[in-house]
Amino acid sequence: SFLILAVILTTLSLSSCMAMQSEPTESAKANFTWNTTDATEASLDLLFPNRHQQAKISDPDDKILRFFVIGDWGAFDHYRELSSATDALNDLASKHEYDHIVTVGDNIYYNGVEDIDNRWKAWLCLTVFKKSALRHILIYPTLGNHDCYVNMYNEVKLSQYDYQWRMLENYYVKVTPLKDDPKKFFVNFMLNSCMTICPKGNVYQDDNYECTRFGLLPGGNEVQAHFAWIEANFARYSNDPDVAWMAVSLHHQPFIHPGEKLYLIPLMRKYGVEIIFTGHEHWNEYSNQEFDYKMRLLDREYGDVVLNCTSDEIFTTETRESNFNYGEKFHQFTVGTAGAIWVDKTCPVLDMDVNLVYRSIMQTGSMSVEVTTDLFSASFVNGD
């Protein structure tokens, strides 16, 4: 695996004015026992000959919190590509200690876990996380459109059947203490974008149609309850002096989907949440936007062609590293190629309500994130 793009933010801390009790978090290195039959163990030995090797031993001098982000990954019929993507994660986790894995949706194609009592697709896809250095790292999922088509709540139930899968609600907050100062926290709001693309007053009919496929009424009670929860938790953690960083993880890109442009981005702007992990589009992309930007495309995802290119990889910067101070921009990281169920063409580039910096479909991939109290670094890695 190798770095193909890095985005680095630096900060002293989030401004805050009120203290609060932080929620306890589970250790991603807890001791779990995985009970399987001898036949299953033998099969996994054939798939992953090195799976009994140890993950990176905790180093007390290592003061960097690390976690992975992976999206659009659960394609059982593209198992080879998915396994290649997680090979890269396994390699990194054998060299450095990683705390957890975040998914940004489309966890199980094509219709999520349709029947919790017949979950073989989920079992097969999750075997790629049983590799040597990954098997004790907990997975914190968010839901994508494919997870919501039949019964989104089955992926919550899946937590009862796989020791890594930690999804107790269909949206929740992941609070992780930082290693260089355990009294400070990285707060990740794990949103359900099957609901956030469905607010009241959304004029984008394609998403409204999707809402009906999810069994949701646009602007209905479940949707309103989720947005109320989002604002309450944004307010809560933005006023906590122990919160060093805040991010959202969700499937549909907030700077692309009109309903999220109307309702989610203003809440993020109000409470200072500037980091976005997302998926849905089947490419790896980094884009950003100014805080005072006025949305133009409120009735559609994309506009007209602005760059008539043919490449599989696009850069609008001179190097593969971009550096920012905290508070300069919104940062949107799209990680949508891990399963390679299909890839979306990078070109031509269509007009968006966000500044495109990097986009690639050259490899199945994922993201490695490193965080301290004053530094955030996100790097795309490929599956080669």
| Higher pLDDT among residues 38 and 31, named by residue | 38
pLDDT for 133 beyond 90: yes
**For 233, phi and psi rounded to 5 degrees?**
-80, -35
pLDDT for 243 beyond 70: yes
pLDDT digits (tens, 9 = 90+) for 180-214: 999 999 999 999 999 999 999 998 999 999 999 99
Token pair for 281: 């589009």
- Residue 72 neighbours by CB under 8 Å, 6+ apart: 104, 105, 106, 144, 279, 280, 282, 335, 336, 337, 338, 339, 341
The answer to whether the CB of 383 falls within 8 A of the CB of 87 is yes
Dihedral sign of CA atoms 140, 144, 146, 150 in order: positive
The 8-class DSSP code of residue 132 comes to: T
pLDDT for 92 beyond 50: yes
pLDDT digits (tens, 9 = 90+) for 261-278: 999 999 999 999 999 999
CA-based nearest residue to 189, from 174, 178, 167: 174
The answer to whether the CB of 1 falls within 8 A of the CB of 92 is yes
| Higher pLDDT among residues 291 and 339, named by residue | 291
Distance between terminal CA atoms of the chain? Answer: 6
Mean pLDDT of the chain: 87
Q: Mean pLDDT across the stretch 280-296?
A: 94
Q: Looking up tokens 């991939």, which residue turns up?
A: 365
| CATH 3.40.50.2000 assigned to 60-382 | no
pTM of the model: 0.88
Q: Supply the pLDDT for residue 80.
A: 87
Token pair for 94: 């054998």
pLDDT digits (tens, 9 = 90+) for 134-170: 999 999 999 999 999 999 999 999 999 999 999 999 9
Q: Supply the pLDDT for residue 44.
A: 57
The pLDDT confidence band at residue 39, using thresholds 50, 70 and 90, is low
pLDDT for 31 beyond 50: no
